[in-house]
Structure 1
Amino acid sequence: MAAQGPRTRINAWRPSVPGIAEVLHAHFTDHAYPAHTHDTWDLMILDDGSVDFALDRRRHGATGTGMVLLLPPGVSHDGRTVTASGFRKRVLYLDTTVLPEGLVGSAVDGPILNDTLLRRRIHQLHTALGNAGDAFEAESRLSLIRERLRFHLAAFRTRAPGNDASRLAAALRELLDSRLTTGISLREASGILHAHPTHLIRCFKQTYGLPPHTYLTGKRIDRARRLLLDGRRPADVAAAVGFYDQAHLNRHFTRHLGTTPARYAAARGGGASS
């Protein structure tokens, strides 16, 4: 019986979200990275296993799913498996518009962050990046992650929504309503309203009780319901209300209403039921 070779599985892509140069999902069982550097920040979470790595000639180890690893640009590092089962990781390669190079020293001093909130936010961002059409959500989640990382690197303190919260939230809601079909990026909204992206998100959530990407999706679902009950085809409805494609509509519609757009449309005109 022939020996089984090392099991390595990799999925990598470049998303259309400003600041993210690359996304990498990988499972390594018998692999060692040689010493190398990147031009980007490497933001990594483990889904299973353990990893041993050196950063600037100091060795570190990480095990389990509770920690976040942040490797800065321009600093030599390596990486290797620790056990026979290897490790599974998800990595975001972030450019220096997300974190400036001036924070490299702080990251070298403490590349492992024990922060469950940050870890959860990174997981949510990976989920959004894996779904075509959720770029606005991904951009919003990246903004919150950036804020949390800067907090850890002692370069930022959260700005609480002030007296302008309601005004900014109302202006953002009006902007989202006007761009329901065409969509808008968080960066563009921030430029139009002259407010930091993370501050916009916090003001909106404080005022309306949900983040702006959730509000936008809900508005699109409401409009989709009306068009489906008017007899429009789900594929046409998806484009009409701003979803990326029919699969994008199906995913969010089913999560909101517990049924697919096609089934919802098929039930129209049935009258009241018990």
Structure 2
Amino acid sequence: MADSIRAWHPSVPGLREVLHASFDDHAYPMHAHDDWAVLLIDSGAVAYELDRGRHHALPDAVTILPPGVPHDGRSATKGAGFRKRVLYFESAWLPESAPSAAAVRPTLDGADVLEAVRAIHDALTEPAELLEAEHAALVLQDRVLERLHAPADAPADAPLARRLRDLLEGRVQEAFTIADAAAQLGAHPSHMTRAFTHAYGMPPHRYLISRRVDHARRLLVDGWRVADAAASAGFHDQAHLTRHFRRILGTTPARFKAGS
């Protein structure tokens, strides 16, 4: 396995850095981060010491390393390398009581946690899907809090959900973040997202995408070019519109336009 590394700063509130790396024989010495590190092992296995406890990071679970707590890391199999992806969240991502709990139980198993982490990475492969990545990060935050026995607040808040829907309807074609909307409504992003999902059966970013597809569909019926309809509806480009148009309506914008 050839050594490789890629790191970048995504435009997702609270997510400071993303790292993709593969190592043949590198071993990390004891060190500490300012941020929360959410580790996903794609191949191989990593043995590490955290707060004087010995652990293994494996592909079937997520590892969460708290800020300020020293740890090391090396391949768990002599002569074999490992491939990993890491999300670095700012230290305020979880409450002050969380680091001590995570130091004791850094391994988070369960399909829901893996799905949330993979959803973030999948969304980040397309720059235009930053709102989806932000939503997935909020879902992950809830899953981590559940595992650390710090349950999130109840989702029922119909007035807040209606206010968010009104805000989304007024900004269908605009680029903004869930954090922006939460600040405008005076709500916590995670609570606001859960309240909306509870009320309308889909998370806010999915609702917004569906409304953008609907807007583009009306423009295509009116005779607009696909590329112009995509831009007017708030999509990054024609390919971005096509991906979601096909998912929601079962055909491409070009075929839909041809049949209009």
Shared fold (TM-score, shorter chain, > 0.5): yes
Question: Alpha-carbon deviations, 1:204-225, whole Å to 9, x = none?
Answer: 2222111111111011011111
Instruction: From the superposition, tell whether residues 72 and 184 of structure 1 become closer, same or farther in structure 2 (CA, over 3 Å).
Output: same
- 1:268 maps onto 2:259 in alignment: yes
1:25 equivalent in structure 2: 20
Q: Which amino acid aligns with 2:243?
A: R
Question: Which residue type is aligned with residue 195 of structure 1?
Answer: A
1:108 maps to what in 2?
Answer: 103
Which residue does the alignment assign to 1:77? Answer: 71
Say whether 1:187 aligns with 2:179: yes
CA-to-aligned-CA distance 1:244-267 (integer Å, 9 cap, x gap): 2223222222222333323332x2
Do 2:153 and 2:191's aligned partners in 1 also have CA atoms closer than 8 Å?
Answer: yes
Q: Indicate yes or no: 2:136 matched with 1:144.
A: no
Alpha-carbon shift at residue 152 of structure 1 (Å): 2.7
Gaps of 5+ in 1: 1-5, 270-274
Does structure 1 residue 119 correspond to structure 2 residue 114?
yes
Residue 34 of structure 2 corresponds to 39
Report deviation, 1:101.
5.0
1:86 alignment counterpart: 81
| Structure of higher CA gyration radius | 1
Which TM-score applies when normalising by structure 1? 0.86
CA-based RMSD of the aligned residues comes to 1.9
Q: In the alignment, which residue of structure 2 is the partner of 1:247? A: 239
Residue 259 of structure 1: aligned partner: 251
Preserved CA contact (<8 Å) 1:73 1:101: no
Q: Does 1:159 align with 2:159?
A: no
Q: Which residue of 1 aligns with 2:221?
A: 229
Other-structure match for 1:201 = 193
User: SS state of the match for residue 232, structure 1?
Assistant: coil
| d(CA) in 2 for partners of 1:12, 1:250 | 29
Q: In the TM superposition, what whole-angstrom CA distance separates every residue of 1:217-238 from its partner, at most 9, and x where no partner exists? A: 0110111112122222222222
Unpaired runs of at least 5, structure 2:
none
Residue identity in the other structure for 1:116: A
For 1:25 and 1:111, how far apart are their aligned partners in 2?
A: 20
Post-superposition shift, 1:33? 1.6
CA contact (8 A) 2:145 2:152 kept: no
Shift of 1:71: 0.8
1:63 Cα deviation from its structure 2 partner: 2.5
* Amino acid aligned to 1:167: P
Question: CA offsets per residue over residues 126-175 of structure 1, 9 Å max, x none?
Answer: 11122222222222221221222223333x3232233xx32222211111
Q: Deviation of residue 100 (structure 1)?
A: 4.4
Identity of aligned residues (%): 47
| Match of residue 4, structure 2, among 1, 9, 20 | 9
For residues 66-120 of structure 1, what are the alpha-carbon distances to aligned partners after superposition, in whole Å with 9 as ceiling and x for unaligned? x110111222211111334422222100111312454322221111122321121
Deviates more, 1:179-188 or 1:254-263: 254-263
Q: TM-score, normalised by structure 2?
A: 0.91
Q: Report if aligned partners of 1:132, 1:248 keep a CA contact under 8 Å in 2.
A: no
How far 1:41 moved relative to its partner? 0.9
Aligned AA (2:237):
D
Classify the secondary structure of the residue corresponding to 1:133: helix
Q: How far apart are the structure 2 equivalents of 1:147 and 1:63?
A: 22
- Count the aligned residue pairs: 259
Q: How far does the alpha carbon of each residue in 1:185-205 deviate from its partner, in whole angstroms, 9 at most, with x for none?
A: 211221222222222222222
Q: Name the residue aligned to 2:90.
A: 95
Runs of at least 4 residues off by over 3 Å: none
Aligned to 2:206: 214
Structure 1 CA distance, aligned partners of 2:59 and 2:175? 38
Amino acid at match of 2:214: D
